A and B are shown apart, each in its own frame.
Chain A
Amino acid sequence: MSIMALTPPPIPRDGPLLRVDRLRQWFSSGGFMSPRLTVRAVEDVTFEIGRGEILGLVGESGSGKSTLGRAVLRVTDLTDGRVVFDGQDVSTLSKRQLRPLRARMQMIFQDPFASLNPRMTVGQIVGAPLRIQNPGISRSEVEARVGDALRTVGLADSHAERYPHEFSGGQRQRIGIARAFVLAPDFLVADEPVSALDVSIQAQVVNLLMEIKRKLDLTILFISHDLAVVGHVCDRVAVMYLGRIVEIADTRTLFRNPRHPYTEALFSAVPVADPSRRRQRILLKGDLPSPLAPPSGCAFRTRCRYAIPACAEAVPPLAHIGGGHQKACIRDDLALQPAC
């Protein structure tokens, strides 16, 4: 309650909170004594996230979902395209210009063991964003707000004195969440926030995240490979394959009526905790192709059971098919299996 009282809520404005327009994020390696190689980690990605919305981002490792999450927070310098946050173009802002905006955009990481500095106390970790954003802040104010944040995530004030190694994985993830929320941001990128946790703890942390989301009216980009968690948490879902969004729709539509063969295959691969429902799954052939040398045309065609010769010719555009549902597949004649 009290962490919210300290920062006035942002003035509600029209339009989406985040708009990403033809974003490209390329990485280069080599160059000296070796051929220059370019990984097109994110290629021509366009989407929006409405205020208070949770957009899920799913895909296999190497699909570019984490890179996209980092790019929208401007952790990286964009190769091309625009990121507009709350009406302001942040694509080309310098580090210094970005600093005030950082208070409004935060991130939660997957690995609660790697993302907390082992030499800092929990109080220092959670208090760091406050000190960076408000250099003149008093010690007692930091302590009070850290205490509030810790209580909000289900820890005690006294935990501020302790070090990360004294906590379990679930508790560490709570510390990471407290650090993300201590500045009462409006936008959060949660990159696989519960993937490293045990099932019984995962549910606690998801529920906590959703409770804070509701209180702060947060907008979230929820990156996950766990489609079941995404189905429970997200309003809309974008599916990425080899750097591009191949399908995006509201969660219900995507689960009940997927229109991209890759989405169908992803759903089909999820193991179901019910032995009477062992089913024939759609097994994808092989692995994700190398992003250094993506196949021509539709990147998914090499693993797609519906591929036709025309799929090799051009990259299919992410086309609107009604009701906010978009898909990048030239085949309109497919009857795909729903997730549920």
Chain B
Amino acid sequence: MGAPEIATAVLDVRNLSVAFATHTGPVAAVHDVSFTVAPGETLALVGESGSGKSVTSLAVMRLTPPAPRTRLDGQALFRSRDGTVRDLLAVPERAMRALRGNEIAMIFQEPMTSLNPVQRVGDQIAEAVMTHRPVGRREALDRAEHLLARVGISDARRRLAAFPHHLSGGMRQRVMIAMALACDPALLIADEPTTALDVTVQAQILELLQDLQRETGMAIVFITHNLGVVAEIADRVMVMYAGRIVEQGEVGPVMRAPLMPYTQGLLRAVPTLTVSDGFVPLTSIPGTVPSPTALPPGCAFEPRCPYALPGLCDATTPPLDDAFDGQQVRCLRWDAVAALEARP
């Protein structure tokens, strides 16, 4: 196999599947997921718990349990700063360690559990710098101070000496972001980075990430279950259900006119900031997300789908179809559904 072509993308994931070994046999958590992210672009990965969105990102970072406990198939082609393209699923662990925290950075939901509670935040950021750059401690600490200031922490010099428990949740997430930016990553994977934060602080962090992206041109993969956040931050969105991509496209079309009944249901279920006379029942999706060990035959969403046709949707697993303008949908009846949805 020659050097793979990935055009302009920073990350090009092709046919990624992830299966975990369990005592009852392998359980597939992610099936045949393909997507790309370009420099300066934000791709949102949306789905409910168990949809496979976090597993997808962990697999790309090679942070799933090692083989044979996890089986990874497919490719995750990453373009380095020097232009070389490597398959993250195939490089040796040593090379992967050199990439993590360097050219690919990751931030998580709960900053308290990701930070070392007994190390000063300045030292933690400096360590991230020294791991990947040939600099001494003093220089690394200067860089840490600069990074703290850049993520909007006032009095950065003094904050270098703070321990994580001295800081609020929002400040800790800023420290995590500073650490992630330590080596100017080309790709930032953010897994629910604002979910544990208050709305006022969430708004600050989203704004910060957008500013930093404008400055650095990094690509962001933003994992979230919050469709409001998607609308705020994403250029493109990928909706996952039961381990598969069920819809993807530009954020505008997908959120304004979703084609997949699951996306439609999700968007309707989000309560909007309005007032009504008396309680109007919220639109819910009946049932629950199927267990990965007991996926229904055919379309995984069929048991909950208002448009499901017996004999069709419960018999055939739908492919990911190209609809229009790069929008893709996994539904056998998407054109019929679109016609039904368009009716007043």
Residues in chain A within 8 A of chain B (CB atoms): 60-61, 168-171, 198-204, 206-207, 210, 225-229, 231-233, 251-252, 255-256, 265-278, 281, 283-284, 287-288, 339-340
- Any chain A CB within 8 A of the CB of B198? yes
Across the interface, which residues of A come within 8 angstroms of B232, CB to CB? 271-272, 278
Which residues of chain A are within 8 angstroms of B204 by Cβ–Cβ distance? 283-284
6 additional A-B residue pairs with CB within 8 Å, beyond A199-B266, A203-B284: A198-B49, A201-B48, A231-B271, A275-B255, A281-B207, A288-B198
Least CB distance, A303 to chain B, in whole angstroms: 8
The reply to whether B229 and A274 contact each other, CB–CB distance below 8 Å, is: no
Q: For this complex, into which size category does the number of interface residues on chain B fall?
A: 35 or more
Closest CB of chain B to A273's CB: distance in Å? Answer: 4
- Judge whether B228 and A284 touch: CB under 8 Å: no
Cβ of A266 and Cβ of B255 under 8 Å apart?
Answer: no
Contact of A199 among B48, B199, B200 (CB under 8 A): B48
- Considering only residues 143-191 of chain B, those with a C-beta below 8 Å from chain A are 168-171
- CB-based closest 8 A-B pairs: A271-B228, A203-B284, A200-B285, A203-B282, A198-B48, A228-B271, A60-B198, A269-B203
Given contacts A203-B282, A207-B282, contact A275 B252 (CB under 8 A): yes
Minimum CB–CB distance for A283 against chain B, Å: 6
> Is B265 an interface position by the 8 A CB rule?
yes
The residue on B at minimum CB distance from A255 is: B275
Give Cα A252–Cα B289 distance, bound, in whole angstroms. Answer: 35
Q: With both chains docked as a complex, state the minimum distance between the C-beta of B48 and any C-beta of chain A, in angstroms.
A: 4
Pairwise interchain contact A271-B271, C-beta atoms closer than 8 A: no
A-B contact pairs, 17 of them (CB 8 A): A60-B200, A201-B288, A203-B269, A204-B286, A206-B271, A252-B275, A255-B274, A269-B199, A271-B199, A272-B228, A273-B227, A273-B228, A278-B231, A281-B207, A287-B168, A288-B198, A340-B274
Q: Does B317 have its Cβ within 8 Å of any Cβ on chain A?
A: no
- Distance in angstroms from A148 CB to nearest chain B CB is 23
Please give, as numbers and ranges, the residues of chain A lying within 8 Å of B289 by CB-CB distance. Answer: 168, 198
Closest B residue to A233 using CB positions = B279
Q: Is B80 an interface residue (CB 8 A)?
A: no
| Residue ID in chain A nearest B277 by CB atoms | A252
CB within 8 Å of A: which of B202-230?
A: 202-204, 206-207, 225-230
The DSSP consensus for interface residues of chain A is helix
Identify the closest chain B residue to A232 (Cβ).
B271
Residue B251 lies at the interface, judged by CB distance under 8 Å to chain A: yes
Within B225-267, the residues touching A (CB, 8 Å) are 225-232, 234, 251-252, 255-256, 265-267
Binding site for A on B (CB under 8 A): 48-49, 168-171, 198-204, 206-207, 225-232, 234, 251-252, 255-256, 265-267, 269-276, 279-286, 288-289
**Smallest CB gap from B49: residue in A:** A198
Given contacts A273-B267, A278-B232, A340-B273, is CB(A169)–CB(B200) below 8 Å? no
Closest to B270 in A: A273
Closest B residue to A237 using CB positions: B275
Contact B255 A200 (CB under 8 A): no
A170 to B232: give the CA distance in the assembly, Å. 27
Distance between B41 CB and nearest chain A CB, rounded to angstroms: 15
Residue of A nearest to B206 (CB): A271
Can you name the residue of chain B whose Cβ is closest to the Cβ of A275?
A: B231
Q: Which residues of A contact B48 (CB under 8 A)?
A: 198-201
Check A198 against B231 for contact (C-beta < 8 Å).
Answer: no
CA distance in complex: A251, B251 (Å): 31
Select one of A171, A203, A225 contacting B199, CB under 8 A. Answer: A225
Residues in chain A near residue B229, CB distance under 8 A:
271
Nearest-CB residue, chain B, relative to A271:
B228
Q: Give bound CA distance, A5 to B128, whole Å.
A: 64
Measured between alpha carbons, how far is A275 from B6 in the docked complex, in Å? 29
CB distance from A43 to the nearest CB of B (A): 20
Closest to B208 in A: A283
- Output the nearest chain A residue to B228 by Cβ-Cβ distance: A271
Query: How long is the Cα–Cα vector from A203 to B288 in the complex, in angstroms?
Result: 12
B198 x A281 contact (CB < 8 A): no
- B284 with A251: CB separation less than 8 A: no
Q: Within 8 Å CB of A251, what residues of B?
A: 275
B227 touches A270 (CB 8 A): no
| Cα distance, A61 to B226, chains bound together (Å) | 19
**Pairwise interchain contact A266-B284, C-beta atoms closer than 8 A:** no
Q: Nearest chain-A residue to B171 (Cβ)?
A: A287
A231: chain B residues at CB < 8 Å are 271, 273-275
Kindly identify which residue among B225, B255, B276 contacts A232, using a CB–CB cutoff of 8 Å.
B276
Cα of A284 to Cα of B200 in the assembled complex, Å: 6
Given contacts A198-B49, A340-B273, A276 and B266 within 8 Å (CB-CB): no
Given contact pairs A203-B283, A271-B202, A228 touches B227 in the complex (Cβ within 8 A):
no
Asked if residues B252 and A276 are in contact (CB atoms below 8 Å), the reply is yes
Q: Which residues of A lie under 8 Å from residue B274 when comparing CB positions?
A: 228, 231-232, 255, 340
List of B residues within 8 angstroms of A60 by Cβ: 198-201
Is the CB–CB distance between A198 and B225 below 8 Å? yes
A227 to B, closest residue via Cβ: B273
Bound Cα distance A327, B168 (Å) = 27
Residue of B nearest to A256 (CB): B275
Query: Is B279 a contact of A210 with CB atoms below 8 Å?
Result: yes
Residue in B170, B275, B284, B285 whose CB lies within 8 Å of A287: B170
Partner of A225, one of B198, B230, B275, B283: B198
Q: Give the residues in chain A near B228, CB-CB below 8 Å.
A: 270-273
Q: B226 to A271, Cβ gap below 8 A?
A: yes
Question: With a CB–CB cut-off of 8 A, which chain A residues contact B285?
Answer: 200, 203-204
Contact check, B273 vs A255: say whether CB atoms are below 8 A apart.
Answer: yes
Interface centre among A60, A169, A198 (most CB of B within 10 A): A198
Complex formed: what's the CA distance from A275 to B275 in Å? 21
B316 CB to closest chain A CB (Å) equals 24
Residues of A with C-beta under 8 A to B288: 168, 170-171, 201
